[in-house]
Amino acid sequence: MTLTETAAPCAPLPDEFIPLIVPQLRGNEWRYVKECLDTAWVSSVGSYVERFEQLVAQHAGTSYAVATVNGTAALHIALQVAGVRPDDEVLVSTLTFIAPVNAIRYVGAWPVFIDAEPEYWQMDPAGVADFLERRCQWKDGTLINRETGRHVTAIVPVHILGHPVDMDPILALARQFRLKVIEDATEGLGATYRNRPVGQFGDIGCFSFNGNKIITTGGGGMLVTNSAELAQRAKYLTTQAKDDPVEYIHGEVGYNYRLTNVQAAIGCGQIEQLADYIERKRRIAGIYDDAFRDLSGLRPMREATGAASTFWMYTVLVDEGTAGIGSRDLLRALWKRNIQSRPLWQPLHRSPAHRSAGSWDCPIADTISAHALSLPCSVGLTDFEQGRVIEEVRALLGSSGLVSAQAGGAA
Ligand SMILES: Cc1ncc(COP(=O)(O)O)c(C=O)c1O
């Protein structure tokens, strides 16, 4: 395969190939799905949907959960039920997958891009404070962006790569400036911040069960909250806003954003294994960390004090000057050796898709994005496979990347 080719649908991957991140479905998934097929409860109503909602709420430590067709839909509905309106402004991490920013545009609002902090690469609370304190003012009881005149109404911290955002200062600012908080926890299921699971800190939290997430339903999402009112409204909007299901009376424009019973059945099988998957991800991260410790050209992702990361996507920063190879050349070289890796996303303040949101200066996200590379980290990655990744990375960095060969520190 070449970098741009993909395998035929359902074709087994070549023997030697080590993918970046693939699901593992070895628990009760088959049994639960078979039950759906045997009973013909395959569509968007069924006991597995409710069961999966309960299990996710339990894991997130919230009172309610509403299943959705994917994480993007969960974010879209979350913004809507939180009361974000057209032409509002919403603070959001610039260093993230594009979905939360798209969701902000779906409701007609505008993103305010917040840079990453350099240590753990998450939304920088100092950047949030700077925007709110220096660039906004109160007018008639609402917070206004002085430059655009728009209302600033919400914040979407994104817990990227399985590591939590530093929530305490962000929650304090949200209280002070009366912002709704919608956590994009799509990459963070199972991660904790000060011993509490992410997703429960804001007004609403959103999860994704896309194929590359720590647990998957093939495609799927979930919105969690402690507010009965928000949960009820989210359920209403995700199920076509039906006021009278017999007479087909719809109170407003709703969405068909429901998860199917078959997908929820897979989710129930998957979530039973979540604790084991987190342990495996953390073990994989630990092995990489140990193996790369003497390479000054690589700086692995770190874990903040008070945070427990799932290390969902194990990522390193590659410093070309020290490593003797840049992140994109390393990606290409690994690909030639049948090992898949991936850069992080283009920071969204630079995205052509969101050019109309104005121009923003987010230098830390730019630097992280230029140097980052994610390495194979499926929960099913074998020691042998990981050993091969380590061996190839070390060989490609050569002696120039060794700590002893360089006076400088990590990338
Ligand atoms: C940070 C982030 N937000 C939102 C999403 C959207 O989730 P989904 O793909 O389930 O729509 C994803 C990933 O898929 C993501 O990584």
> For 186-210, what is each residue's pLDDT tens digit?
999 999 999 999 999 999 999 999 9
Radius of gyration for the chain, computed over Cα atoms and rounded to the nearest angstrom: 22
405 — pLDDT class (breaks 50, 70, 90): very low
- 52-74 pLDDT tens trace: 999 999 999 999 999 999 999 99
Going from the Cα of 185 to the center of ligand 1, the distance in angstroms, rounded, reads: 9
The pLDDT confidence band at residue 374, using thresholds 50, 70 and 90, is very high
Q: Which residue has the higher pLDDT, 411 or 155?
A: 155
Q: Is the pLDDT reported for residue 2 higher than 50?
A: yes
Is pLDDT of 26 > 70?
yes
Residue 137: phi and psi, rounded to 5, are: -150, 160
Mutation probe of ligand 1 site: the residue of 20, 56, 94, 97 with most atoms within 8 A of C-beta: 97
The whole-angstrom separation of Cα 254 and Cα 368 is 39
- Inform me whether the pLDDT recorded for 133 exceeds 60: yes
Spacing, Cα 342 to ligand 1 middle (Å): 16
Overall average pLDDT of the 306-326 stretch: 97
Q: How many angstroms separate the Cα of 3 from the Cα of each of 155, 161, 179, 338, 385?
A: 36, 23, 43, 10, 20
Query: Which residue minimizes the CA distance to atom 7 of ligand 1?
Result: 71
Predicted confidence (pLDDT) at residue 397 exceeds the cutoff of 80: yes
Taking CA atoms only, the protein residue closest to ligand 1 atom 10 is 71
Q: Quickly state the pLDDT bin for 9 (edges 50, 70, 90).
A: low
pLDDT attached to residue 8:
63
Q: Mean pLDDT across the chain, nearest whole number?
A: 94
Give backbone dihedrals phi and psi of 52, rounded to 5 degrees, phi first. Answer: -65, -40
160 CA to centre of ligand 1 in angstroms: 10
| C-alpha to C-alpha distance for 340 and 17, rounded to whole angstroms | 8
Is the pLDDT score of 36 beyond 90?
A: yes
pLDDT over 50 (residue 406): no
Rounded to the nearest angstrom, the distance between the alpha carbon of 259 and the centre of ligand 1 is: 15
| % of the chain surpassing 90 pLDDT | 91
Q: How far is the centre of ligand 1, averaged over its atoms, from the C-alpha of 407 (Å)?
A: 40
Q: Given the CA of residue 99, which atom of ligand 1 is nearest to it? A: 4
Q: What is the largest CA-CA distance in the chain?
A: 76
pLDDT range class, residue 408, cuts 50, 70, 90: very low
CA of 98 to the centre of ligand 1 (A): 8
Locate the ligand 1 atom nearest the alpha carbon of residue 210 and give its number: 10
187 CA distance to ligand 1 middle (Å)? 7
- Name the residue of 208, 213, 257, 259 to mutate for ligand 1: max ligand atoms within 8 A of Cβ: 208
- Ligand 1 site residues, Cβ closer than 6 angstroms: 70-72, 96-97, 99-100, 158, 184, 186-187, 208, 210, 221
Strands (E), 158-285: 180-184, 192-193, 196-197, 204-208, 221-225, 242-244, 249-250
CA dihedral (383, 385, 389, 392) in degrees, to 10, reads 110
Name the nearest CA neighbour of 147 among 110, 179, 177, 174: 110
pTM of the model: 0.95
Strand partners for 205: 183, 224
Q: Is 89 helix (H, G, I), strand (E, B) or coil?
A: strand
The amino acid at 338: N
- Please report the pLDDT score of residue 398 as a whole number: 80
Main-chain dihedrals φ then ψ at residue 266, nearest 5 degrees: -60, -45
User: For position 3, what pLDDT does the model report?
Assistant: 54
Local confidence band at 410 (pLDDT 50, 70, 90 cut-offs): very low
Pocket test for ligand 1, best of 210, 270, 342 (most atoms within 8 A of CB): 210
Looking at the CA of residue 72, tell me the nearest atom of ligand 1.
Answer: 11
The predicted model gives 286-301 an average pLDDT of 96
Kindly report the protein residue whose alpha carbon is nearest to atom 16 of ligand 1: 97
What is the pLDDT averaged over residues 106-135?
98
Which three-class secondary structure state does DSSP give residue 214?
coil
pLDDT above 70: percentage of residues in the chain: 94
Number of residues that make up the chain:
411
- In a 13 Å sphere around the CA of 380, the CA atoms on its Cβ side amount to 11
Closest CA to 174 of 149, 143, 141: 143
Residue 177 has pLDDT above 50, yes or no: yes
State the Cα–Cα distance between residues 244 and 289, nearest whole angstrom: 57
Mean pLDDT of 104-108: 98
For a ligand 1 pocket test, name from 21, 70, 72 the mutation site with the most ligand atoms within 8 angstroms of its C-beta.
72
Residue 5's pLDDT band, with cuts at 50, 70 and 90, is: low
